[in-house]
Every structure is written in C-alpha cells, then in structure tokens.
Structure 1
Amino acid sequence: MSTPVQQWRPAGRGSVRSRTINGYFARVSHPFMAAASLRGTPSAQFLAAMRPGLNRSLTALSPVPAETRVEPIREWLDGVRVRGEWVSAHPGPPRPESPTRIIYYLHGSGYVICSPRTHRGLVGRLSKRTGWSAFSLDYRLGPEYPFPTAGDDAIRGYHWLLDQGFRPDQIVVAGDSAGGHLALDLIADNHRRGIGQPAGLVLFSPLYDPTFELAVASQRRGVRDPLIDAVAGQRFLRLYTGGTAADHPRMRVALHPEMSLPPTLIQVGALEVMGDDARAMHRALTAAGADAALQEWPGQGHVFQMFPLFSPESRQALHEAAGFMSTLATN
C-alpha cells in the first residue's frame, strides 16, 4: 500500500449549505448546551428522559440507503452477550471464507447515547461505497454500565468476529467520536494479548482524551463546534467515566513503537469540538510508527460524515474513506 499523505486539508471555507446550517445549529444548540453545563453533571434520570428523543432525531437526520439490509445479532461469547447488527448495502451475508473485507463499526456519542440504529445511515453508506458488509456493535452505555464496560464490549465484539472465522486482516475497524477511543483501546488490548491487528482504522472525529480537557481548552481558545458545547460534553462523559483517574491506561491509551499498528485514516472538521483530540491521536500514532493520515475539512463540525442532507462534504469525506479502505484491500 502506498503511504498516505500525513496531513491534508481541502481548499476553501466549506460549502454554503454547511456554513448556513452550522450557523443555525450554533444559534439553537449552544444556549441549550450552555444551560445544561450550568447545572453540573446531568443526572441519570435526565439522561434517560432525553436519550430516546435525541436518538430519534439523530436517526431521522441520517437516512439509511434504500437497499440496505440489516440483520440483528444477539449471541454469547464467554458468558457475555454480544449485540449488534450486520449492515449490508448488497445481497448475500458476509462469509469468512470470502476474500472480501468487512467493517467493524464502533458508534460514538459520549458513551451515554446513540446505538447502531442512530448510525445505521452512516454505516449503510460506508457499506454501499466499499461493497463490504459491516458489523455495527451495540455496546452497553453509561451511566447504567460505567467505565470500562464499553471498551470490554468492543474487545469482545472483535473476538466474536474472529470466532466467526474472520481473520484480523479481513477486518477494518471504523468508528466516530467515542468509537475512536474504543478503537485505540482495542488496538492496545490486541497488542497485550498477542492477537492480530485489523487491516486498518478509519476514524471520524475521534475522541482521544475521555477527560475532555483537550476539547474544553480548545473551546476556551475560541473554537466553537456548531453542535457541541465542550463543558456540557465533559459532564456527560463523566456519567460513564465517573471517578476514573485521567492516567488510567485505558483512559489515555499509550501507543509504543513496538506495537504493530494498522494503517489509519482520521477525518475531522475544522470547527470540531474534538479537533485537538484528532490531532493528538494522529501525533501519537505517527510517533509510534503507524502509517496515519489526518484530513481536516473546513467549515465542518462533529461527525459531519453522518449528515449528508446538511453537508455535501459528508459525501466527499465518505468517498475519501472508501478510497482509503480500497487501498487496504489491495495491500
């Protein structure tokens, strides 16, 4: 595989449509998020009340391609339930004996909201563009299931795919937001256990620092994501991380040159609340010897790839991601 460009940024300020819609969301969402941040850490009851409506809204804003097939999975591995769904934009179930790769998708949203259903549109579009099936993991959320439950589930989901007969080099791990942090945790765990690494990583607006200090510091310098207030986001994250120390090895995942690290593509919006997370992750990967590319998209906010109706750049970014995946298929 050819070495990807280490840092890349499309020209311009972003499309007129995305700038207009981002401006609208900033006016609507920031007052709400700021008010939420003044109340301190949200209660579990508040989260339980808002989660269904927020999930429905995100699902409606990220349409699923019409030809997408979905197969729910509820199976056991080592006495714990593996939940998720196969998402395919083409006929036929995924077969381990086929040379075709699969996507292992880890959804984001602070470890406390969202599901494979909210991200089915994004995963379906990835499947359509690559021609690959995707297993989208339904990991357990906080505060009902605190740190590191989601990470344990992500590791177990990868082991389940291996148990189905898929080889590590057939799997490309993709994820957004908190899913990016889950992907790093998985890579570190594979190294500790001597388990084969996936063929590659594709990460959208990835979380690197679950304390959210990088995001809060960025916001204080004047970077404003159109959708997310960093202080409020930090308090929602604490519903999952609780009192876990910032230097816990599964909070700030350490990468080392002796690790076998897969080729990685990171995409982030220039208005991104977690822009510094993406850049820190890119630096950590390259310092450890990974073949990692960072793409920064002007005029875009958090996980803009999820919203094709709002941003033409969403389609362009997924085209770039699918192109990166195709280079892995020929490696």
Structure 2
Amino acid sequence: MRLVQWITPSSVQSYRFFCYFFRFSNRISELEDDARILWLMRDHPAGRSKVILYMHGGGFQNALQFYHLRYLRYVQSELAVRGVVVDVAILDYSEFPTVSPIFPINLRQVKSSIAHLLDAGFAPSEICVAGDSAGGNLAMQLVSHALHPVDAVPALTLSSPLAGVLCISPWCTLTENAPSYSANRARDILPSGGVLSWGVAFLSNIPERNHVYMEAAKAPETWFHGVERVASKFLFTAGDHEVMRDDIVELSTKVKACHTDCELLLELGGVHCNPQLDFMLPTTRKRLVKSNSKIIDWLSDVFA
C-alpha cells in the first residue's frame, strides 16, 4: 500500500491539477491534525452560498481521485442550474498507514473541518455533510460523535441541525460477512475478501468499545435516538449488485427508525459507488445513471 501511495498523486496534487485544468481558483484551508480543506468555489451571485463538506472514499488508504473532483464539479454545476449556489469543501484527511490507528484521528479531522466552516460563517443549516465509501463511514462517525461524544475528540455543538447527510455506498460494517458479500462477489467492482481483511486490520488496534463508531450498521437499535437534532435529512445510496448492500440497508433502517426524513436509494443493477463511475471515463449527461439525478433532486431539497 505504501508503494501505491508513493506512485500515485496525493489529494493536494490531484486537486491542484484539476483546478489548473478546469480553471478553478486554487484555495486550500489548513486545519488542525494535519488536515486541510480543498475548495471548489463558485462565483457567487447576490445571496449566500451553501456548502457541501465532502469526504472521499478509498478504503482509508487512497487519496482523492480525479473522478471524485469531476463528480463534485458535476453536482455543483447541476445545482447551479437550479439556482442553488454551493461551494464544495473537500476534506483532505490522513490515510492509513501514515496514521495508525485511523480512529479517532480521522474523526478529529472531520470535526475540525466542521468547526472551520462554522467559524467561517456558515450556519449548520447551510452545511451538507457527504461522502462515499470510507468517506461515508466518516460522515456517520461524525453523526455518532454528535450523539455519543468520543473523549479524545472535541464535542460537536450545533445551534441547529445540519442541512443533511449524504452517504454514497458507505462502508458501514468493516468485519461482518453479510449475504450480499457472497451473492455479489462476481458482480461488484470491490474485492469482497480484500475489503473484509482491510476492515479487520483497521479495527485490530482500536478499543472494542469504539468499534461502533466505525461500524454504524452494527450499532444498537437505540444508538441513533436524537439524530434529528444532528441533521434534517439523510440519504443513503447502495447498488443492488454491491457487496456492501445488506450493511447499507441495515444502517439506513436503523437511522430511519429514529428520523422522519431518511431515504434509501437502492439502484437496480448498481455496484459500489455507482453514481461516480460515470465520471471515471468521459461520458455525456444523457448516459448518467439514474441515481445521479435523484441525488441532485435531494440536494436541491436539502438547500431549499
């Protein structure tokens, strides 16, 4: 893994190249704990901007990818067409094995990014927290921390709920081999065996009492009581053909039991992080998967 990290661009390098290629302003905000926010900012018309705080996936080991940036630019542009002006704040968090254990360091970095946005003048109702795969895991770590504070992480105090939480194929159980792992082993783009072995490695040096923060789908039934005070809306997405499907369904069910505005988007024939696969190669909007339009609809409602 260290070799892969050495030969591939860092998150900052990919971001700077993207900004150069698409003529974006290059703006980076340094945070505590060796984290930073990489900004995709719009030219603001009259009125106040909203912000999407995004945590990228990559198994807690891989940096921000170019397709993540293309996808976020698409989301930003589609929202602008609907009159919704958003900045995107991408969290550049530390990766394994540069930091080990990854918990609670990554959670501290997420909390630091939220604090930075609040200090910058964004109200909680103007912030949507989003992430894919491991980034979705981090989003749910933040939710859990808001409900059950971790001693080693500053408390998250919100004057009002966040606008929303969007989890695209969240990695929400690191060790359990749910039926969808075997049923979709030959269908998904993820290696099911590798995913489970990574999860065991990540949890091996984290106290068992803290596993629930990284395995939200295994949380007790009452864990998410009060979650409506954390975020006004939740959207979970999963592909029908992805190995993590059953875990994501379980997580969404537990959150939905405690929240009146929680949705699950299960895409027929979809695989892991299906909405973003369109942006790994050049494509046209006419060929985008249906879940992308649903996500844009949902974000429009979040920021209405």
TM-score normalised by the chain length of structure 2: 0.78
Aligned pairs for 1:55-134 (under 5 A) are: 67=22, 69-77=24-32, 80-88=33-41, 90-92=42-44, 98-115=47-64, 117=66, 119-131=68-80, 132-134=86-88
Task: State the SS of the aligned residue for 1:108.
Answer: coil
* Structure 2 counterpart SS, 1:128: helix
Q: Residue type matched to 1:174 in 2?
A: A
CA shift in 2, pair 1:53/1:126, >3 Å: farther
**Residues 124 and 293 of structure 1, relative CA distance in 2, 3 Å threshold:** same
**For residue 144 of structure 1, what is the aligned residue in structure 2?**
98
Report the 3-state secondary structure (helix = DSSP H, G, I; strand = E; otherwise coil) of the residue aligned with 1:114.
Answer: coil
- Residue 50, structure 1, aligned to residue 4, structure 2: yes
* TM-superposed deviation, 1:111: 0.6
Aligned position for 1:265: 235
- Amino acid in structure 2 at the alignment position of 1:234: L
Summarize deviations over 1:91-119 as a string: whole Å, max 9, x none: 259xxx94332110011121111226552
For residue 298 of structure 1, what is the aligned residue in structure 2? 268
1:210-236 Cα shifts (integer Å, max 9, x gaps):
33x145x42234553431111111223
Q: Are 1:209 and 2:173 an aligned pair? A: yes
Higher normalized contact order (CA 8 Å, seq sep 6+, divided by chain length)? 1
Which residue in the other structure is 2:214 paired with?
251
1:68 to 1:177, Cα distance in 2 relative to 1, 3 A: farther
Q: 2:114 aligns with which of 152, 158, 164?
A: 158
Q: Summarize the Cα distance change of 1:171–1:298 in structure 2 as closer, same or farther, 3 Å threshold.
A: same
Counterpart residue type for residue 200 of structure 1: G
Query: Quick one: distance in 2 between partners of 1:210 and 1:313?
Result: 33
Distance 1:242 1:325, change over 3 A: same
Q: Does the C-alpha gap of structure 1 residues 67 and 266 become closer, same or farther in structure 2, counting only changes over 3 Å?
A: same
Equivalent residue pairs, number: 271
TM-score (norm 1): 0.72
CA distance in 2: counterparts of 1:318 and 1:229, whole angstroms: 24
Aligned counterpart in structure 2 of residue 190 of structure 1, from 113, 121, 146: 146
Q: 1:68 and 1:170, CA in 2 relative to 1: closer, same or farther beyond 3 A?
A: farther
Segments of 5+ residues of structure 2 without an aligned counterpart are 81-85, 150-154
Q: CA distance change for structure 1 residues 117 and 140 in 2, over 3 Å: closer, same or farther? A: farther
Contact 2:53 2:130 (C-alpha < 8 Å) held by counterparts = yes
Structure 1 residue 199 corresponds to structure 2 residue 163: yes
Unaligned runs of 5+ in 1: 1-46
Q: Distance in 2 between matches of 1:307 and 1:64?
A: 21
Partner of 2:213: helix, strand, or coil?
coil
Distance 1:180 1:275 in 2: 14
Alignment RMSD (CA, Å) = 3.0
Percent identity between matched residues is 21
